Amino acid sequence: MSDHYTVDHGIDRAFTIVNYAILTLFLAAVAYPLIYVFSASFSDPSAVISGKMWLWPVDVTLDGYRAVFRNSRITVGFQNSLFYTVAGTLVSVVLTILAAYPLSRKDLAGRNIIMFFFVFTLLFGGGLIPTYLVVREVGMLNTRWALIIPTALSVYNMIITRTFFQSTIPDELLEAAQIDGCSDFRFVRDVVIPLSGPIIAVNALFYAVNQWNQYFNALIYLTRPDLFPLQLILREILVQNQVDLSQITDVDQLMQRQNLQDLLKYSLIVVASAPVLIIYPFVQKHFVRGVLIGSLKG
């Protein structure tokens, strides 16, 4: 913006040069670990260990990816995560709209009290253990529901959505519809939702990314391995170092076991992050919009 009316300040020119230099360094610092992991996942493990691979893949191999996709626990986890993400996002978005629309209506009696009950949960909560007891009591332990229902609604998202409704759906539209005898249900279905594409996108994306990335609820609510989401399998392999390379049997290959484990880990990091990182540049503006609507009335 400032380059349009440049005054000849020596200090400004120095500032600009330093600014570009620092941001370039910053860019490299953020990107380098990502590039390194990506390249390592395609490189011969011995090249990685010896430091020959430092930026781009060396001695390209797909062994890591082969091991990832041959591991049935990983593929089952991947499928489970897909299910949790799709189902969870659907439930969450519906619940968010159901809460946000009535609370956006200025003529709703009791609106402020109900709103207070939602907002208060941002400031104070029962805590980990009481929440666990509730989930146990309603019989959701070791069911798929445990990952979908207890965290279904984000009050923060609900507030953003409510702000969006208040600022984009004109009161005149509601009045006109009411004069024509339109019910609230129909108004939501035929007017509000068609006008709310952007905010539904923001919600769906935030919920989907959270659901895809989260492991903690699965850790505390699930013990049945066939229900585990990908992130929990990742925890076992990447953090707890439990890798089952059952396809390796003979002794020579056992020698390379450690190398292959590292390769598998790099590949697994890429496989687990790829769905989100590939989609996000295309939907970046929705995330940015979400943050901005949130800052309107935070």
168-227: contacts with other proteins (CB under 8 A): 183-185, 188, 209, 212-216, 220
CB contact at 8 A, 117 and 153: no
Q: Given candidates 51, 181, 194, 197, which one binds other proteins under the rule CB under 8 A?
A: 51
Q: Given candidates 107, 226, 250, 252, which one binds other proteins under the rule CB under 8 A?
A: 107
Task: Report if residue 252 touches other proteins, rule: CB under 8 A.
Answer: no
Q: Given candidates 55, 179, 239, 255, which one binds other proteins under the rule CB under 8 A?
A: 239
State which residue, 121 or 247, has the beta carbon closest to other proteins: 121
Task: Report if residue 138 touches other proteins, rule: CB under 8 A.
Answer: yes
Instruction: Retrieve residue 51's tokens.
Output: 């430091």
CB of 248 to other proteins, least distance (A): 20
State which residue, 8 or 250, has the beta carbon closest to other proteins: 8
Q: Which stretch binds other proteins (CB under 8 A): 59-67, 111-119, 167-175, 249-257?
A: 111-119
**Residue 9, Cβ density class (10 Å: 0-12 exposed, 13-18 middle, ≥19 buried):** exposed
Task: Report if residue 261 touches other proteins, rule: CB under 8 A.
Answer: no
State which residue, 60 or 277, has the beta carbon closest to other proteins: 277
Task: Report if residue 149 touches other proteins, rule: CB under 8 A.
Answer: yes
State which residue, 107 or 226, has the beta carbon closest to other proteins: 107
Nearest by Cα to 81 from 187, 255, 234: 234
Instruction: Retrieve residue 59's tokens.
Output: 């001695």
